[in-house]
Chains A and B, each alone.
Chain A
Amino acid sequence: SVLTQPPSVSAAPGQKVTISCSGSSSNIGNNYVSWYQQLPGTAPKLLIFENHKRPSGIPDRFSGSRSGTSATLGITGLQTGDEADYYCGTWDGSLSAGVFGTGTTVTV
């Protein structure tokens, strides 16, 4: 994948984690970033779109930001139900393709 994420992050219940997504000027640097949560055995769920916006129903414990060629997902007030894989996604203009990050497993 052209987008790099840490393989795993962990924290205690109630704490905060951040997940980074590193790319380049052909993808994150010039396109919107979205974030997805994938619980075991289910389809991904949209958490963040257009870098920092939350769809209806997504709690404000989830936040997103973009700076240069990197993006970050933050999760505060961690709950056991947040244990999942998280992926960033965007468009890569050089590849003319949608691209996803390598994925990060969050352990609470």
Chain B
Amino acid sequence: QVQLHQWGAGLLKPSETLSLTCAVYGGSFTGYYWSWIRQPPGKGLEWIGEINHSGSTNSNPSLKSRVTTSVDTSKSQFSLRLTSLTAADTAIYFCARGRGGGEWWDYWGRGTLVTVSS
């Protein structure tokens, strides 16, 4: 059974950098794209970006200048950094396993609530 376990700081100040990591347990780490998706409180889902085991990435153009995704295949982990935070970045951040190219996401982490507040 595939499980995604994510962690990172939950309370940040404006202009700070968000850093989240997701560890994958079970299943293969190769052959998939590993995504970050967020959901502001009470709102819908927003795709942030994805990375595969070889480091090939895609990012949402609306966030691209602030997003960095990385992968550590030796640990079956992938990470997200989002810089220059504002209150608008307050959201639940999910990591998820995907097919790539937005086809589907079949396993998800539980989500991390990140609040940006001074």
Residues of chain A at the chain B interface (Cβ within 8 Å)? 1, 31-32, 34, 36, 42-46, 49-50, 55, 87, 89-92, 95-103
Contact = CB atoms under 8 A, between A and B. Distances in A.
A76 to B, nearest CB: 22
A31 B102 contact: yes
A96 B37 CA distance: 15
14 contacts: A36-B105, A43-B94, A43-B96, A43-B111, A44-B45, A49-B106, A92-B102, A96-B61, A97-B47, A97-B59, A98-B60, A100-B44, A102-B44, A103-B45
Nearest to B4: A43
Categorize the interface residue count of chain B: 20 to 34
Interface in B20-47: 35, 37, 44-47
Given A34-B104, A44-B105, A46-B106, 15 more contacts: A31-B102, A32-B103, A36-B45, A43-B111, A46-B105, A49-B99, A50-B103, A89-B105, A92-B102, A97-B102, A98-B60, A99-B47, A102-B44, A103-B44, A103-B45
Contacts of B44: 1, 87, 100-103
B58 interface: yes
A contact patch SS: strand
Nearest to A89: B102
A34 B103 CA distance: 7
Interface of B: 35, 37, 44-47, 50, 58-62, 94, 96, 98-99, 101-106, 108-111
